[in-house]
Structure 1
Amino acid sequence: MNKCALFAAFAGSLFWALATPAQAGPVTEKLLKGEALILAHREASLPFSFVDESKQPVGYAVDLCMKVAEIVRQQLGLKQLPVRYKLVNSTTRIETIRSHQADLECGSTTNTPERRQLVAFTVPHYIASARILVRADSTAQDMFDFSGKRLVGTRNTTGLARAKQANQQQALRINILEVVDDPKGVEMVEKKEADGFIMDDIVLQALLATRPDPSQLKVVGKPLTVEPLAIMLPKDDPEFKKLVDEAMKQLIRTREAHALYHQWFTQPKLPGHVSLAWPMPAMLREFWKHPSDMVPF
């Protein structure tokens, strides 16, 4: 092939590369068409995602999602980006994202290798540990103390999975019960229908702080797991994931994420104007120095 023919072939290839836009994923494509971004939220996953007295979704993760949505709007060059909400629970949340019934899950979902086979996660917005809530007069301190007793967990959570694993591997003879939502687990402990409730420590602290008489309950034991909680999104749209990852990193760099943390964890933002008085954990503070969706836990 002579030089003229070679140049012509190269020029033609370059033209088609520039003229043909990259194939947008399903979420990015619908947003570019002007369709709504759908945010999945929880009913009572305090302080991350819950409904207030007017039945509106609120919480730390919900606020983060709204800020991410605004940055995504700017990155896509959209004049406006409509947002809609969809209620999910611990059982429906993953399938809701996987099947594109929602685009972001704004809650307290742990990023695990098993879940990454089905969905994607962005930069963690909290790093929790599973612990156990018991009545104030309980002497239980760890999983071994529940041998022959009733331990409840929320269905499809990593805390419940950890309890089942320990029960089987160590033959603890724990009677493990399941509930659909977190408040029900606390209620069962209060009513002596269960002896303990296993869940992320910060969720337990929030539920405890908003009970009529918090002195009747306590959180015990050493951390049983490490839980990087992150916004969940579909696995089949890498372009959208890149937008969301960059948005989260921007919120962390500009310390807007830190300000939201301060509002929801140290100010009276919970129902009844209750404050958690919960400073940012050292593990999260260190992780945010180099924010990434890659979690080493």
Structure 2
Amino acid sequence: MKTLQRKSGCVIPYRVLALLLCGCFALQSHAQDLTGRLASIKARNTIVLGYRESSVPYSYYDNNERVIGYSQDIAQEIVKELKSAINAPNLQVKMIAVNAQNRIPLIQNGTIDLECGGTTNNKERAQQVDFSDTISVTETRLLTRSNSDIHSFKDLNGKTVAVTAGTTSERYLRSYVQQKNADITIIASRDHSGSFMTLETGRAAAFFMDADVLASQRATARNPQDYVVTGEPQTHEAIACMLPKGEAQLKAIADRTIARLETSGQGEALYKTWFMSPIAPKGINLNLPMSDALKAVFQHPNDQPMDD
């Protein structure tokens, strides 16, 4: 390989020098190459992040109504990468609360640029929005009272089940009732805390949702020992950040940030912080070890849904 000899005595391969020069030129011209949502973010010097108010441990309020959580930490890492990528060190961050019903419309109409909560990436939603690489993998189960006679889905006949409106869990449950002609009454609440309250007050015999959400609701209950996560998993789902359809530049920034976290060990540390350690506001520990499916994702980051 040809080399360039500098007066300092340092030998630089021409190929490496060419890459360095190309990188410098790319940085100089990058701001002019921004398109779509990135150009808009740069022009207004603000990125708008969607967050959830009660999706423990992904995105939720602490006692001071500060947004915290596993997904929130990942969102902040994406913002750091974005600031560097578009040369906007003073980029402002605006936060907007979303729920399961309005999060997709708010992405589609341009109100928010990126949503990192506990949103499932599936094929149907991928027709409307884009998703980042997977940040978590969950399964859907039931939360019941400890003294309940409900131990599986087949025990739900004649019962009332709570579920959070606008979620893939609600869609699955309604499909199950229709296909099985099951005698199940469904109560859909606006958010997870509302769904748990339906169970807590006795209006529902079970709460059907992602297992990590159920574990968090149980852990934050007045008497956690009164509830149990039970039943065979009904689905396995990929959790990811959500962004506008067709915004390849923004997606590339999100994906490379997530890939860096997951392959460097930083992502595993984040997971342990939020799923295996005491967390605010009550110092609860969800004790949810990383699944084999999520370990595989961390080894090979990807944006594939799990509803094949």
Query: Is 1:279 equivalent to 2:262 in the alignment?
Result: no
The residue identity in structure 2 corresponding to 1:217 is Y
Q: Is the 8 A contact 1:25 1:236 kept in 2?
A: no
User: Alignment partner for residue 47 of structure 1, among 49, 53, 57?
Assistant: 57
Deviations 1:118-150 (A, max 9, x none): 111001111001101111111112222111110
* CA distance in structure 1 between the aligned counterparts of 2:246 and 2:77, rounded to whole angstroms: 22
User: Alignment partner for residue 116 of structure 1, among 114, 126, 146?
Assistant: 126
Seen in structure 2, the aligned counterparts of structure 1 residues 25 and 145 have a Cα distance that, compared at 3 Å, is farther
The equivalent of 1:96 in structure 2 is: 106
The equivalent of 1:130 in structure 2 is: 140
User: Alignment partner for residue 160 of structure 1, among 170, 173, 182?
Assistant: 170
User: Alignment partner for residue 189 of structure 1, among 191, 194, 199?
Assistant: 199
The equivalent of 2:280 in structure 1 is: 270
* CA distance in structure 1 between the aligned counterparts of 2:306 and 2:99, rounded to whole angstroms: 26
* CA distance in structure 2 between the aligned counterparts of 1:90 and 1:128, rounded to whole angstroms: 17
Seen in structure 2, the aligned counterparts of structure 1 residues 149 and 28 have a Cα distance that, compared at 3 Å, is same
Q: Is the 8 A contact 1:105 1:231 kept in 2?
A: yes
Give the deviation of 1:278 after TM superposition: 1.9
SS of residue in 2 equivalent to 1:137: coil
The residue identity in structure 2 corresponding to 1:144 is K
User: Alignment partner for residue 216 of structure 2, among 206, 210, 219?
Assistant: 206
The equivalent of 1:74 in structure 2 is: 84
* CA distance in structure 2 between the aligned counterparts of 1:71 and 1:252, rounded to whole angstroms: 15
Deviations 1:89-127 (A, max 9, x none): 111111111111111111000001111111110011110
The equivalent of 1:178 in structure 2 is: 188
Q: Is the 8 A contact 2:237 2:306 kept in 1?
A: no
Seen in structure 2, the aligned counterparts of structure 1 residues 213 and 172 have a Cα distance that, compared at 3 Å, is same
Give the deviation of 1:264 after TM superposition: 0.8
Root mean square deviation of aligned Cα? 1.7
* CA distance in structure 2 between the aligned counterparts of 1:69 and 1:113, rounded to whole angstroms: 26
The equivalent of 1:16 in structure 2 is: none
The residue identity in structure 2 corresponding to 1:115 is R
TM normalised by structure 1 equals: 0.90
User: Alignment partner for residue 289 of structure 1, among 289, 299, 307?
Assistant: 299
Give the deviation of 1:24 after TM superposition: 3.6
Give the deviation of 1:34 after TM superposition: 4.8
Q: Is the 8 A contact 1:134 1:195 kept in 2?
A: yes
Q: Return the structure number with greater strand share.
A: 2
The residue identity in structure 2 corresponding to 1:221 is G
User: Alignment partner for residue 95 of structure 2, among 74, 85, 103?
Assistant: 85
Give the deviation of 1:31 after TM superposition: 2.6
SS of residue in 1 equivalent to 2:254: helix
Q: Is the 8 A contact 2:50 2:96 kept in 1?
A: yes
The residue identity in structure 2 corresponding to 1:196 is A
Give the deviation of 1:242 after TM superposition: 1.3
The residue identity in structure 2 corresponding to 1:250 is R
* Structure 2: unaligned runs, 5 residues or longer: 1-28
The sequence identity of aligned pairs, in percent, is 29
Q: Is the 8 A contact 1:46 1:270 kept in 2?
A: no
Query: Is 1:217 equivalent to 2:227 in the alignment?
Result: yes
Give the deviation of 1:22 after TM superposition: 7.7
Seen in structure 2, the aligned counterparts of structure 1 residues 162 and 135 have a Cα distance that, compared at 3 Å, is same
* Structure 1: unaligned runs, 5 residues or longer: 1-18
* CA distance in structure 2 between the aligned counterparts of 1:182 and 1:69, rounded to whole angstroms: 27
Query: Is 1:254 equivalent to 2:264 in the alignment?
Result: yes
Give the deviation of 1:79 after TM superposition: 2.5
The residue identity in structure 1 corresponding to 2:168 is T
SS of residue in 1 equivalent to 2:147: coil
TM normalised by structure 2 equals: 0.87
Give the deviation of 1:80 after TM superposition: 2.5
SS of residue in 2 equivalent to 1:212: coil
Give the deviation of 1:67 after TM superposition: 0.6
Give the deviation of 1:206 after TM superposition: 0.8
Using the TM superposition, name which of 149-158 and 270-279 deviates more: 270-279
